[in-house]
Amino acid sequence: MTDGSMRALVGSIHSCPTQAVLYIAGGASQALGLLLSVPGASNTVLEAVVPYSGMSMIQLLGKVPAQFASAKTAEEMALLAYNRALKLSKPGSPVLGVGFTGSLASTRPKLGDHRFHLSTRTSDQLWVSTVTLSKGLRTREQEETVSSQFLLKGIANACKVEATYISELNESEVPDEYESKFDEDQELEQVINGQICFKVYPFSSDIANTKRKIILSGSFNPLHEGHLKLLDVAISICGDGYLCFELSAINADKPPLTVSQIKERVKQFERVGKTVIVSNQPYFYKKAELFPGSAFVIGADTAVRLIDPKYYGNDYAKMLEILIGCKNTGCVFLVAGRNVDGVFKVLEDFDVPEELKGLFISIPADTFRMDISSTEIRRSRGM
């Protein structure tokens, strides 16, 4: 495969909507250089990390792998990269996680095989391949070229890019491959069990670029007019942003939602054409880590709980530490008035610690007031 054809392949990758995070160690360095040097790289590459040292790989994986260069390690790298891509990408964009690890020719002779392992992860597919190279056939640079070509071809396949590819592997160097396909139910199960951090249903026609996310979190059982109006008010306060709802599959006080419950609630957002993100984080400080820089729209009843030390083991200092952490992510909370213990209250009715003043922004009652709640709707329907 010539340099020109490799550059053409990369150009085709950059022309597709998929956004990727790559974790590459032990080879394929030429592929990274091509991905970044061919025009259009910012369309594709969200982040590229080279965890080359052993300690770097351990910190990336959060553990010492059984083998640094293995199919299992490449698969774990790809999953981490996929979750990272979800967090960095435009909401609703197709994303790709790439994991590559190799043991190629070096200055000292290797006792084991010269090999590399590549894994790609998308929303509906995991693919893993191992290539064992003929030892002594190529120089290190030539092995770099072969592994780079293979990596680019793997990315192209994951992006569903059609391209002519002439392999430089010989007849004995047959890739050992396997793949798993995921349907929507399996993907939601992976959200529930924490394998992936969230799934986006981009029902809105509004396309997000670098705009701040304005997120209304809740159980939405059911979604009602008050939720929709509240987000419209939030955009008028923020001035600009990408409006979306966030449904947590995990509740701190209740059993996790089932896949069927999630899908039923998601249908509500499809009917009104609003984007919803299904996550696995019930706590706002964790949501702030998932969606840094966002504006979370909450009711005064939720704000009361956020600043109440009893929800932090009666530890006032811990409450401050956690909420200052939210503030440091660039997040803010837009607080709408709500009935609290039978009385309608707004943010100004509560004593917000001085250190947290900039974290909370009041939505005036004359701008938005709606006493309807999902609980009352369920009660009226006998649910």
Share of the chain above pLDDT 70, in %: 95
**Tens digits of per-residue pLDDT, 199-230?**
999 998 776 555 789 999 999 999 999 899 99
Evaluate if residue 87 carries a pLDDT over 90: yes
Joined tokens for residue 298: 């909450």
Convert the pLDDT of each residue in 261-304 to its tens digit.
Answer: 999 999 999 999 999 999 999 999 999 999 999 999 999 989 99
How many of the other CB atoms lie within 10 Å of CB of 175? 15
Count CA within 13 A, CB hemisphere, residue 176. Answer: 10
Average pLDDT of the segment spanning 221-241 = 90
pTM of the full predicted structure?
0.92
CB < 8 Å & 24+ apart, contacts of 353-357: 353/307, 353/320, 355/320, 355/324, 356/307, 356/320, 356/323, 356/324, 356/327
* 368 vs 35 pLDDT, higher one: 35
Structure tokens belonging to residue 327? 């503030």
Instruction: Say which residue the tokens 């550059």 belong to.
Output: 7
CB 164: neighbour CB atoms within 10 A? 8
DSSP symbols for 279-311: ES--SHHHHHHHSTT-EEEEEHHHHHHHT-GGG
Would the pLDDT of 254 be above 90? no
pLDDT for 378 equals: 45
Digit-coded pLDDT (tens) for 331-340: 999 999 988 7
Catalogue all structural domains in the chain, each as residue range(s) with its CATH number: 3-182 (3.90.950.20), 186-380 (3.40.50.620)
Q: Determine whether 9 is exposed, middle or buried from the number of CB atoms within 10 Å of its CB (0-12, 13-18, 19+).
A: buried
Q: Is the pLDDT of residue 77 over 70?
A: yes
The answer for residues whose C-beta is within 8 angstroms of residue 23's C-beta and 6 or more apart is 49, 50, 51, 60, 77, 78, 80, 81, 97, 98, 99, 100
Mean pLDDT estimate for the chain: 92
- Cross-sheet strand order for the sheet of 45-49: 45-49, 19-25, 95-103, 114-121, 125-133, 176-181
Residue 177 has pLDDT above 80, yes or no: yes
Q: How far apart are CA 340 and CA 338, in angstroms?
A: 6
Which among 99, 85, 96 has a CA at the least distance from the CA of 50? 99
CA–CA distance, 383 with 197 (Å, rounded to integer): 31
- Residue 243: Cβ within 10 Å count: 21
* Phi, psi of 299, deg, nearest 5: -90, 160
Please indicate whether residue 251 or residue 280 has the higher confidence score (pLDDT): 280
Q: What is the pLDDT of residues 297-314, one digit of tens each?
A: 999 989 999 999 999 999
- Interatomic CA distance for residues 243 and 265, integer angstroms: 18
Neighbours of 341 (CB within 10 A): 7
Secondary structure of 102-171 in HEC code, one letter for each residue = EECCCCCCCCCCEEEEEEEECCCEEEEEEEEECCCCCCHHHHHHHHHHHHHHHHHHHCCCCCCCCCCCCC
pLDDT in tens, 184-194: 999 999 999 99
- Residue spans of alpha helices (H) in the chain: 3-14, 29-37, 41-44, 54-61, 71-88, 140-158, 184-192, 225-238, 259-272, 284-290, 300-306, 316-328, 374-380
- Residue that is written with structure tokens 């213990």 in the block: 341
pLDDT at 208: 58
